[in-house]
Structure 1
Amino acid sequence: MSVDAIIALIIFVIVYYLIISEKIHRSIAVVLGAFILTFFGVFEDPDYLFKNYVDFDTIFLLIGMMLLVSTIKSVGFFEYVAFWIIKFSKNSLLKIFLLINFFVALFSAFIDNVTTVMIFIPITLAIADAANIDPTFFVLSEVFSSNIGGTATLIGDPPNILIGNAARLTFNDFILNTAFPTIITLLIVLIIFLIKYKKFLSNKIEFNFNELSISKKNLIKSFILLSVVILLFVLQEKLQIHSSIIAFGMGFVSILVIDPKNLEKHFAEIEWSTIFFFIGLFIITGALEDTGILKQVALVLSENFGNSPRLFGLGLIVMSFFVSGFFDNIPFTATMIPVIKMLPSINSSFSNLMPYWWALSLGVCYGGNFTPIGASANIVAITMLVKYSKKNVSFKDFFKFSVIPSLVSLIISIVYIEIRYF
């Protein structure tokens, strides 16, 4: 292992310790970690660093959606939607829980997970505020539904797009191979939540809404803007437009259409600490890829299980799950793709690579639920929860919530791959 690789690994371990222990703010930890890596020259080419490792598509997507959410939130749109969800659910927390999680999973199958949680979390917080209850359980359950739902389709999660492009898989291929385990996993995970929080969900709650004085004109504008954004996300592949361009552009369009005189107010709503956290995290993860550490992880898998198709499939799911729980799943997916492609040259038994593409997809997507930084949606949801409801979720709190349902999802994916493909 090179000196640069050792430095990258040490910095990663220290930063992760600081995030888990919460001794300093996570954004400070990752940004300083990224600074140290660049200061010691771990990256040979700084230009290459920003072009290949910092995912500006995610950064601008976040900024754009934060502006959009801030704008339509300011006119009471989310309170209006919350009111009708409560009315439709007849004041039942259980029905609200099932309804919201169903739609979160459905939306996540067709639009970016981050976008989905940024749409639904404000609605959830408005409902919790009206019921005077702690929204933490609802928000964390929606994170699970979002990450699981995104596994179902080619466009539901970025790793699936990488896998689809590399293996030339179609939208229908994903529907036929990952949609079924996704539905089963979602149902079982929701049942686990229902059993664990049965007492909480069965409580009789009185919802108290202040009189909704919402401008009908602004309400219609908000609905149209949100509908256009969702439609553009669904069609982005055909339109060949990056999600970041859609979100960033529509964020400013929303301000222009609804509240052009308060631009600075909406700029203040941008969670800059989250933006810098992502930038730092991308750089630190990029260092692990640039110095070959992620490649070594992939090689360990192929060297130890490369002679057995069944064991390799099992090892691939397990490793993908745990690595994606602690690292950004996009670079790991990109690292594993050439490893899977070279399998036929290692052993003729690997003539059919399809099982391994699906194993990789399920592993990296489900692994995002394991820790609070396992997926972008987790970070955004927790940030919104802290900002708008003042409810803090520590690394330990999230892990206590996630460990059982996430491990159950891992088991389901293993059983599915074993029964269907081996």
Structure 2
Amino acid sequence: MTVDAIIALIVFVVVYYLIISEKVHRSIAVVLGAFTLTFFGIFEDPDYLFKNYVDFDTIFLLIGMMLLVSTIKDVGFFEFVAFKIIKLSKNSLVRIFLMMNIFVAFLSAFVDNVTTIMIFIPITLAIADAAEISPIPLVFSEVLSSNIGGTATLIGDPPNILIGNAAGLNFNDFILNTAFPSFLSLFLILAFLFFTHKKTFTRKLDFNLESVSISKINLIKSLVLLITVLILFVFQEQLGINNSVIAFGMGFVSVLVMNPKNIEKQFTEIEWGTIFFFIGLFIITGALEDTGILKQIAIFFSEKFGESPKLFGMLLIVMSFIISGFFDNIPFTATMIPIIKMLPGINVAFSNLTPFWWALSLGVCYGGNLTPIGASANIVALTMLLKYSNTKVSFKDFMKFSLVPSLISLAVAILYIEYRYL
């Protein structure tokens, strides 16, 4: 192993430790890690670094979607829709449980999971308080639904964005390949949660929530913007427009339509820490590829499982699921992408990479439900539970609730990948 490879590996391990331990904010950790690599001259050509390792399609897609979501969120569109769902339930907790989770899953397929959770948790806590029940079953079910729903589309979860851009997969590809197992997992998980908490969900309720108002013009604008961007995503291949161009352009269109005189405020809504995290992460994983470390890992996996793509696919799902449950799934996804890309050059048995892209997607996204630190939405939900309802949930308590639902989704993913692709 060369000196450059050793430095790259040390930086990667240190940064990964800082991300897991949260001793330093993850954005600071990866940016300083990237700075260290460039300082020691790991990359001989900085231009080559930015052209080949920093995925600006992903960066611009994230910025555009953050702008779009923030402008619509500010006018109360998501709260309005959530309130309508509650009204439609006619004071039935079973209907509320089903409708809230289905809508959370659907919205998470197109909107950042954290945003979805932040919109629905306050309403959910109000429902639980009025019904005099523990908010944990409702809140936890929505966390699970948000992560499952985010798996269904290209833009639903950051790992999917990484995979889509790396593998050249478009919006429709994800709909046709990950939507079905996501819907099936959601159905089975909700059925399991209903029967295990039947006494809670079948209680009779009698309560009223204050109405959430939104001007008719803002409602129409929000609907038009969302429908337009979704149509463009669906037909982006026929239009010959990159997903990042659509998202970035529509993000600024949304500002122009909804709040053109206060663009500075909308810029503050962008999660710049996440953007810089992605940039630094691309550079760090690029160093692992540039110094040959990832190729060595790929060779190891190929030697152990190279004669059986089926076995490798199953291993990839389980490994992705477990690692993403305990560690941030974004670094792991970014690390595995170049490894998967290298497989055809090592063994012809891996000439078709399609099964492995979907195996990685389902594994890393479903694994986020396993622990309270498996996904950002989990952490946000637990923070809001403590802040607004004084309900503290331990690591162990979360896993007691999430373990079986998570294993259900893992089983669905394994069977789906095996029988459809391998």
Query: TM-score with structure 1 length normalisation?
Result: 0.76
Residues 1:367 and 2:371 aligned together: no
Q: Distance in 2 between matches of 1:385 and 1:54?
A: 33
Aligned to 1:58: 58
State the distance in 2 between where 1:22 and 1:369 align.
Answer: 22
The SS at the match of 2:44 is: coil
- Find 1:358's aligned residue among 355, 359, 366: 355
Residues 1:148 and 2:113 are matched in the alignment: no
Residue 220 of structure 2 aligns with which residue?
A: 220
Other-structure match for 1:347: none
- Partner-residue secondary structure (3-state), 1:265: helix
* Structure 1 unaligned residues grouped into runs of 5+: 345-349
Shift of 1:253: 1.7
* 2:45 is equivalent to residue 48 of structure 1: no
What is the CA deviation profile of residues 32-73 of structure 1, one whole-angstrom value per residue up to 9, with x for unaligned ones? 222212212222322222222222222222222222222222
Tell me which residue corresponds to 1:259: 259
Any residues of structure 2 matched to 1:112-123 within 5 Å, and which?
113=109, 115=111, 117=113, 120-121=116-117, 123=119
Q: Is the 8 A contact 1:363 1:413 kept in 2?
A: no
SS at match of 2:23: coil
In the superposition, relative to structure 1, how do residues 105 and 173 fare at CA in structure 2: closer, same or farther (>3 Å)? Answer: closer
Equivalent in the alignment of 1:332: 336
- Change in 2 beyond 3 A, CA 1:25/1:159: closer
Relative to structure 1, is the Cα distance of residues 19 and 162 closer, same or farther in structure 2, using a 3 angstrom cutoff? closer
Give the SS at the match of 1:241: coil
Matched, 1:27 2:30: no
1:87 corresponds to: 87
Distance 1:343 1:96, change over 3 A: farther
Give me the identity figure in percent: 51
**Cα displacement string for residues 193-238 of structure 1 (whole angstroms, at most 9, x for unaligned residues):** 5567667756777765444342212221122112112221222222
Amino acid across the alignment from 2:236: Q
Flag the 1:188–1:202 CA change in 2: closer, same or farther, 3 A: same
CA spacing shift, 1:290–1:236, aligned 2, 3 Å: same
Q: Give me the whole-angstrom Cα distance separating, in 2, the residues matched to 1:206 and 1:40.
A: 66
Measured against aligned partners, the alpha-carbon deviations of 1:326-355 in whole angstroms (never above 9, x if no partner) come to 6352562343144147544xxxxx4x966x
Distance 1:62 1:308, change over 3 A: closer
- On the 8 A contact 1:18/1:24 being kept in 2, the answer is yes
Q: Does 1:127 align with 2:123?
A: yes
Is 1:315 matched up with 2:315? Answer: yes
> Which of the numbers 126, 137, 142 marks the counterpart of 2:140?
137
Q: What pairs up with 1:195-344 in 2 under 5 angstroms?
A: 209-308=209-308, 310-319=310-319, 321=321, 325=329, 327-329=331-333, 332-340=336-344, 343-344=347-348
Shift in Å at residue 278 of structure 1?
2.2
Contact in 1 for aligned 2:167/2:357 (Cα 8 Å): no
CA distance in 1, matches of 2:251, 2:392: 28
Asked if 2 retains the 8 angstrom alpha-carbon contact of 1:382 and 1:393, the reply is no
Deviation at 1:22, TM superposition (A): 1.9
* Counterpart contact for 2:141–2:193, Cα < 8 Å: no
Change (3 A) 1:230 1:19: same
Flag the 1:253–1:5 CA change in 2: closer, same or farther, 3 A.
same
Paired with 2:267 and 2:219, the residues of 1 have a C-alpha distance of 21
Alpha-carbon distance, 1:303 to partner: 0.5
Q: Which amino acid aligns with 2:246?
A: I
Query: For residue 128 of structure 1, what is the amino acid of its counterpart?
Result: T
Deviates more, 1:289-298 or 1:218-227: 289-298
Q: CA deviation at 1:420?
A: 6.1
The 1:98–1:46 alpha-carbon spacing in structure 2 relative to 1, beyond 3 Å, is farther
Q: CA deviation at 1:5?
A: 2.2
TM-score (norm 2): 0.76
Distance in structure 1 (CA, Å) of the matches to 2:271 and 2:397: 20
TM superposition shift of 1:30:
1.9
Distance 1:224 1:305 in 2: 49
Aligned positions, number? 403
Counterparts in 2 of 1:274 and 1:384: CA distance versus 1, 3 Å: farther
CA drift of 1:86 comes to: 0.9
CA RMSD of aligned residues (A): 4.3
Rounded Cα–Cα distance in structure 2 between residues aligned with 1:103 and 1:341:
43
Check whether the contact 1:162–1:333 (CA below 8 A) recurs between aligned residues. Answer: no
Moved more, 127-136 or 138-147: 127-136
Asked whether the 8 Å contact 1:321–1:364 carries over to 2, the reply is: no
Deviations 1:262-301 (A, max 9, x none): 2222222222222222222222222222222222222111
- Flag the 1:136–1:221 CA change in 2: closer, same or farther, 3 A: same
Shift of 1:84: 0.7
In 2, distance between residues paired with 1:19 and 1:157?
A: 20
Structure 1 residues 359 and 184, CA, compared in 2 at 3 Å: closer, same or farther?
farther
1:30 and 1:406, CA in 2 relative to 1: closer, same or farther beyond 3 A? Answer: farther
Unaligned runs of 5+ in 2: 130-134
